[in-house]
Chains A and B, each alone.
Chain A
C-alpha cells in the first residue's frame, strides 16, 4: 500500500486508533498484523522472503549468544542468506547481463539472457535493517531479542518498512516494546509531519516530475538549458519525494508515540559534498559508515586507504540504489566529489555570508550532473544527455521552456512551491516549540489549512493529468 493512496488514508487512522486502546500485552500482535497487511497489499507472496529474513536473523542472533564460539560462522551464514536473497532478486539479471555483454564483446556473439524476477518492494531497506541487528548482536552492542513477535515487528514495522529510515535495533526495538503511547504533542507533531510529507510529495515532487519526464522522454532533441533545468529540478524532485516519504513515515510512527530517525536535514544548504552526505539519507549513510566504511579501516590507514574506502562505499551505495551502471556512475561521481572536498577543504573555510551562499550555490550546481546520472535509465542515455548539455546551447531558452512545457503560470507555480517547500523546514520540525501566543497558533492552523487544500488541489490536478506517481525510493 502506497502512502499517497486512498487505502492508506483509511488504513493509518484505523491502525493508530486501535493501537491507542490496545493493551500493551497484545500490542505487538496488532501492529505486526497491520504491518503484514500493509506489505501484503502489493503482493501477498512477497511476505515469504520477509519471513525467511526475519526467522534467519532472529535464530542467528539467539544462537550467537548461546554459542559464542560459533559467532563468526553464524554471522557469515546470516549474511549469506540475507544478502543472497537480495542479490538474487535485485541483482541477478544485472550481473548476468554484464557477464554476457563482456563475453559477447570477446566472442563477437550476440546472446541475450533475462529471467523475469519480481523485485520485492523495500527489500534493500529491510535487509539492511536486519543485518544491522545481527551485526550489533555479533559485536555485543545489543542483546538478542527473545520474543519473536517483537523482533518480527522490528523488521516489518510498516511506517519504515518499504523505504526506511533504516533504524538501528537499539533505537526502534525499545520504543516498540515501551508502554509509552502518543501524547497530545506527539499527535500534533505527527499530523504536522504527515502534512509536510504529503506537501513535498504531491505538491512539489510530482509537479517537478512532469517537466523532468518531458526532457527525458526525448533527450536527443533537448536543449542544453532544458537539460540543466531538468537536472536541477530532478535534484529537488528526488529530495522532495524521499524526504516527503520519510516525513510521512515519521509522522505515522509519531502518531503511535514512536520517534523515527530524521532522514534529511536540509541537504541543499550544504556547503560541501561531505556535508551534503551527512544531511542526505542520514540513516543509510550511517549504516554504510558503521558497518562498512569503519570496518574497512575508515580514514585511519592513511590518505590513499581513505580514498579507496570512500570509492568502495559510494560505489556500493550506488549499487544499493538499483541494479544499473547508472547508479554505480552516480556513486563514483559522488565519491570523487567527497574525495576532492576532503583533500582541499582546508583552503575553502570562509564564514562570511556571501562566501557561504556562493558555496551553497556552487554545491548545488556541482550536484546537477549527479542528478542527471541518477535519473537516466541507461549509461547510453547519460552519454546523450551530457552531450546535449555540452553541445545543445544553440537551442534558445524559450525553446527549452517550450520543450519542457513550461509557461509563465507553471514557472511561477514551480518557484512558489519550491519556496514554500524551503519554508516548511521549521514548520515540519520534529520538535516544534510551542506557539508563542494566539496569533502564532492561528498562523499554524491557517498554514495547516492551506497545506491541506494545496495537497488536495495538487492531487486532483495530478490525477487529471495522470501524472500522480509512486514513491521513487520504493524501487530500491
Chain B
C-alpha cells in the first residue's frame, strides 16, 4: 500500500481548433502556469514531472526534453508516458504512482496535443502493425463504426439513440468556457428536437455508417496539467483535495480483429477492479458524476452498460430518461466531454482534472447540483485500452 495522494491543482488552455499563436512548448507552458496558480504553488515546489502526447501527431519524439522550458522540467526528474488515447490518464496514473511511492511529494502531470499540426488519420495509422494492418486499415472512425453497427444489431439501438449522446455532450459544453465546440444554436431547444434536427440534417455528413460528423469528436489544440500531492501536504495546498480512491487499467488485444466487439470488456474489467478496491456495490447510486472518455456517440450508450450503470441494452433508456444529463441521477461529462474537445494527449487528463474540479466544488457553471463524494474518470485508446481513476472527497481507507 502506497501513500495517500490527492489532486490539488488543475489547469488547462482554452481548447481550440488551431493555436497558431503558440508552438507546442508554449501551449504546454500555458496549462502549467494555470495549474500552478490554481494550487498557489511555484515550479520550485514541484518535485517531478510526467508528460505525454502522441509522438506522430507533432512528429516530436523527445517531448520530455523538447518541452522542458515550457513544462518546468529543467533540472527536474521528468518521464514521458505515451499510450495513445489514454495518454492523459496514463500520465495521471504515473504521477499518482510517483507520489504514492513516497519518493516525491508533489508531481505535475501534463498532457497536450496540437492536432492542427498533422493529419490525425495519417498519424493514428502509425499505431497499427506495419505489415498486417497498416496496408488494409485507415484511422479510427471506421473501427468505431464497426463497433456501433454491432451494438445496433445486437440491441436494436437506432441512429437517434446515438444522436441523443451527441446532444448531451454538446449541450453540456455550452457551460464550459474551455470547450472547443460551442454549438450556440442548440441553446434552449429540447434534446428530442435536437436529435431530430441532427439526424435529419443533410449537412451532417455520413463518415462511416452509422457514424456522421455529429457522432465524432473534433480535432483540437490544447494542453492540461494536474498536480498530485501526498497526504500531509495535499490538505495544506487545497481546501478540498480530490483524493485518489483507486485506479485500474486493462487492455486486451494487439490486432483489431481480436477485439471483442460485442462488449467493451476492458472498461468492464477496469471498472470492476476499481469498484472492488473502493468498496462500491451500486455504481449508479454511489458515484456522483462521471467524466468519461467517450470518443464517439455510441460509446455513450454501450460503455456505460459495461461500466455497470445499467444492464446490457439499457443505455439508450438511461439517455432518453435524462439520467445522464446535468440534473439527472448520474451526470456524465458536465465538461462536454471528448466529443466537444479532443486534444488527444490532453483529453484523458482533462477527464481527471474535471473530475477533481467536481469533487472540489469548483467547476463553475458546469458544477453538478450536488456535493460530489465520488467522481469516476476514464481514458480510452487503441487496444481498447481502458484507464479508470476514481476521485473522492474522503481519504481512501
Instruction: Please indicate whether A and B come from the same complex rather than being unrelated chains.
Output: no
